Amino acid sequence: MAMALTRRNLHLLCPIFSARLLTTASTSPITIETSLPFTAHNIDPPSRSVQTSPQELLSFFRDMALMRRMEIAADSLYKAKLIRGFCHLYDGQEAVAIGMEAAITRKDCIITAYRDHCLFLGRGGTLLEAFAELMGRKDGCSKGKGGSMHFYKKDGGFYGGHGIVGAQIPLGCGLAFAQKYSKDDNVSFMMYGDGAANQGQLFEALNMAALWDLPAILVCENNHYGMGTAEWRAAKSPAYFKRGDYVPGLKVDGMDALAVKQACKFAKEHALKNGPIILEMDTYRYHGHSMSDPGSTYRTRDEISGIRQERDPVERVRKLILAHDIATEKEMKDNEKEVRKEVDEAIAKAKEIPSPDPSELFTNVYVKGLGVEAFGADRKELRAVLP
């Protein structure tokens, strides 16, 4: 547990202050009850009592605050036209990414759709790589060629970053298949939204995962809106954790990082022995579907602010930290200031990075290009040989 925490923190470039706070924080266990009980389908739910530690709670706070700050900064960059195209923000859903990371290792795989910035960070990606990619610069995690929806970190077990709704589920079952085939004793988490939950290919893949006992964990991040369509308008049965029928499911308070951690730990143990399981994370996104969507034409502002007040995941952990005297108010405020500074510095650095070289237009089309020619818009003007 402690190893996992320090590995995650290494690249977060902890400034001195909170690094000290984190490393001096105790690792002695605390038990905390989840805010809500788990609702189970075809399985006995795990206990509501979650084992954690002051250090873990502090790292939860720090990482979630970092993710929150990153997404808000991305919003500003998008409005400043430094980020183009699509930009799907995750703020409000941080607890899912953080709780999951706490329960698994980098050998387990995660695959998701296009709301992938924070999951990338959780898997070991850096702020600099993230911002550079968003702005299309050459040192982005995909060298500027992917964009917001195509972040990858294979060495961290993160397989992207996919733009086609629902496609990531069969792909994730494929990862699980490969893990089982290779006898790796690890699991794959495939994240999808309430919108994707109705996709046919989900059921096709789930059927095979169940038939072949694949270590596949389907995680429905139910933020209650598939783009502009509320779940009750899109699904006859919005009880997504039950939709697996013969596949067991668990409904989890997705705004509670500890509940998420407990559920993922439980799911991993189950999947390694018994095959697929569905986790439905009851969560919420503060932003609209993407930066082109204000998010307020199909939801009331009261609803959004109500969730922010009652269920915000970062606030919940802050309250826990204060309630257990793990840190003072001032220390927490300073923590947040540092996070902000870290994000601002990363953005400033990312802005300095140049765009990819024009020759990169033709790289990575193939692993083995066989020396064939590829053409630009005017083939008499622009051609390249693929190595």
Question: Which CB sits closer to other proteins, 125 or 288?
Answer: 125
* DSSP codes joined into one string, 201-222: HHHHHHHHHHHTT--EEEEEEE
Question: Which CB sits closer to other proteins, 245 or 334?
Answer: 245
Task: Quote the DSSP letter at residue 46.
Answer: P
- Nearest alpha carbon to residue 211 among 169, 242, 177: 177
- The stretches of 80-144 forming alpha helices (DSSP H) are 94-103, 117-122, 127-134
Residues in touch with other proteins (CB under 8 A): 109, 111, 142-146, 150, 152-154, 159-164, 167, 169-179, 181-182, 200-201, 203-205, 207-208, 211-212, 363-368, 370, 372-374, 379-380
Distance CA 282, CA 304 (A): 14
Kindly state the smallest distance separating residue 19's Cβ from other proteins, in Å. Answer: 30
Between the alpha carbon of residue 317 and those of residues 65, 198, 240, 258, 259, the distances in Å are: 10, 33, 27, 9, 12
Kindly state the smallest distance separating residue 273's Cβ from other proteins, in Å. Answer: 18
Question: Which CB sits closer to other proteins, 10 or 211?
Answer: 211
Q: What percent of the residues of the chain are helix, what percent strand, and what percent coil, each to the nearest 5?
A: 45, 15, 40
Kindly state the smallest distance separating residue 363's Cβ from other proteins, in Å. Answer: 8
Question: Which CB sits closer to other proteins, 10 or 178?
Answer: 178
Kindly state the smallest distance separating residue 139's Cβ from other proteins, in Å. Answer: 11
Provide the Cα torsion 165, 245, 38, 160; round to 10°: -20
Kindly state the smallest distance separating residue 367's Cβ from other proteins, in Å. Answer: 4
Question: Which CB sits closer to other proteins, 54 or 124?
Answer: 124
CB atoms within 10 A of CB 49: 11
Distance CA 100, CA 29 (A): 19
Kindly state the smallest distance separating residue 245's Cβ from other proteins, in Å. Answer: 15
Kindly state the smallest distance separating residue 164's Cβ from other proteins, in Å. Answer: 5
Residue whose structure tokens are 């509501």: 48
Question: Which CB sits closer to other proteins, 54 or 276?
Answer: 276
Kindly state the smallest distance separating residue 329's Cβ from other proteins, in Å. Answer: 42
Contact indicator for 281, 220 with CB cutoff of 8 Å: yes
Distance CA 142, CA 230 (A): 33
Distance CA 250, CA 261 (A): 13
